[in-house]
Amino acid sequence: MSLQTGRGTTPEPAWLARARTGDREAFAHLYREHYAFVYRYLLCRTRDRHLAEDLTQEVFARALRGIGGFAWRGTDPAAWLTTIARNLHLDEVGRSRTRWETLVPEFGDPEQPGPGTESLVLRELDAVEAGETVRRALRTLAPPQRHCVELRFLGGLSAEETAHAMGRTVGAVKALTHRAMHKLRWAAGAVPS
């Protein structure tokens, strides 16, 4: 079976077609092929291994429930799974279950003066302000550019992994990244290069 992708026809993998009809072994193939990618994506966003594991499991639970409605468009299903993961992460952040914590040693060396409470609070405020500045800057980007930058720099993915997740070519990802970074530099007041 082939469907038009706008650039020609790309046949749907047989295992994916079987997964869409409820074949659990075929879905297990999807899980094995993409688990590490989805987990790494969520780990980079949450910075919490346990939460990333929980969210990754939920991504595949939702994918299993929704696989029948998955429409083949000629690209790897990683982009679909990434969209599910991103939405789950945004839901998690919205529920405020995720707390950003700064780890401080419970017992310091009494001979070594540690940072005072004031400097710890100021450092935490700086981190919050920096995070808000990044979020504000990302909102100025077009959605594909923002998604690309999030995957590359916040998600820690390579250009190849980002292309895989977005269903684009590596060249397209590099172009999106370049345009996004140019726009961010311009928005920050830097002289465009």
Burial category of 1 from C-beta neighbours within 10 Å (exposed 0-12, middle 13-18, buried 19 and up): exposed
> For residues 22 and 30, is the Cβ–Cβ distance under 8 A?
no
Query: ∠ at Cα 71 (66, 77), nearest 5°?
Result: 75
Packing angle of the helix pair 159-166, 170-187 (nearest 10 deg): 100
- pLDDT tens digit string along 80-130? 898 899 889 888 877 654 455 545 444 445 555 555 566 666 666 666 566
- How many residues in total does the chain contain? 193
> Which pTM value belongs to this model?
0.52
**Model confidence pLDDT, tens digit, residues 29-67:** 999 999 998 998 888 888 888 999 999 999 999 999 999
User: Domains, the chain, ranges and CATH?
Assistant: 10-97 (1.10.1740.10), 136-193 (1.10.10.10)
pLDDT at site 64: 92
